Structure 1
Amino acid sequence: MDVNILLPYQVFATLGDVTNLVIETPSGSHGILPQRLDCISPLVPGILTYQQGAQQSQFIAIDQGIMVKTGAQVMISVRRAIRGSSLQKLQQAVKQEFLALDQEQQALRTVLAKLESGFLKQFSALSKH
């Protein structure tokens, strides 16, 4: 799969030959393999895990966002992302930077994510007809 990670102001990463991808969603972790059907999913702050070819798993800390898979293309749009040298450092970064929001801001983000997700699901269903 080809994975593009987009930030509001730039392309964070373009990853080719990704053989598996693990994302964090409001309902838990989900694995994405190349043969998976097309899908759309909201993302929560967490660690994105991926593997390219026969290499070891690699990690990127991401803020909330959305993932769209169409064919072999995966687009991930997030507010912030951090690439780190170790999993422990990335987990600390997620806790310190992404989860340190006040309750009002978290509630607003949740409502907006649900609206985005609902809109995209309806749009996807509409485009199939």
Structure 2
Amino acid sequence: MRLLLTDPVRVIADHGDVVALRAEDASGAFGILPGHADLLTLLAVSVLSWRRADGRPGYCAVRGGIMTVRGGREIAIATREGRLGDSVEALERTVLADFLAAADAERTERVAEAQRHLRVIRQVVRILHAGHDSLGLSS
């Protein structure tokens, strides 16, 4: 199978001889072998691992992403950020913690932004309601 792994600015890995891939999405870890059914899934912050036809392994920590499998022969992964490494353990120790911290910070910022928007909307509703009342239109 061909594995094409990219981030927004570069090709991280492009191998035409992958015989197995392990990935993780919200439902858990899963494997892809030649002939796999077509698939589209959102990857979790995790470490991908694969094996090439000559037995060489490959590992990449990904900060989430989108994975597609087409025709049982092509695996395409687009991630926000990916870092190759020599072992799952090394990537889990060093990179995964950074990626998880970044994901938590992004979630915290999204919540704060949503709260700011909600405060603005509430203020606009109060102003509109006050204007409505000043015109003697209240019920």
TM-score interval, smaller chain: 0.7 to 0.9
Number of residue pairs the alignment of both structures matches: 108
Task: Tell me the alpha carbon deviations over residues 49-107 of structure 1, each in whole angstroms, 9 at most, x when there is no partner.
Answer: 10001414321111110101111111100011111123322112333320013646237
Aligned sequence identity (%): 30
- Distance, in Å, in 2 between the alignment partners of 1:65 and 1:102 is 12
Cα distance between partner residues in 2 of 1:102 and 1:58? 24
Q: Which has the higher helix share?
A: 2
The AA in structure 1 aligned to 2:12 is F
Matches within 5 A, 1:1-129: 1-71=1-71, 72-101=73-102, 103=104, 105-106=106-107, 108=110
Runs of 5+ unmatched residues, structure 1:
109-129
Range with bigger deviation, 7-16 or 85-94: 85-94
Report the Cα offset of residue 18 of structure 1: 0.5
Query: What is residue 123 of structure 1 aligned with on the other side?
Result: none
**Residues 53, 63 of structure 1: alpha-carbon distance in 2 compared, 3 angstrom cutoff:** same
- Return the TM-score normalized by structure 2: 0.70
With over 3 angstroms needed to count, the CA separation of the structure-2 counterparts of 1:102 and 1:60, relative to structure 1, is: closer
Following the alignment from structure 1 to structure 2, what is the Cα–Cα distance between the partners of residues 18 and 102? 29
Equivalent-residue separation in structure 2 for 1:45 and 1:60 (angstroms): 11
Of structures 1 and 2, the larger Rg is shown by 2
Worse overlay, 26-35 or 88-97: 88-97
RMSD: 1.8
Task: Give the TM-score normalised by the residue count of structure 1.
Answer: 0.75
Find the residue that maps to 2:69 and give its secondary structure.
Answer: strand
**Which whole-Å CA distance do the structure 2 matches of 1:75 and 1:106 have between them?**
26
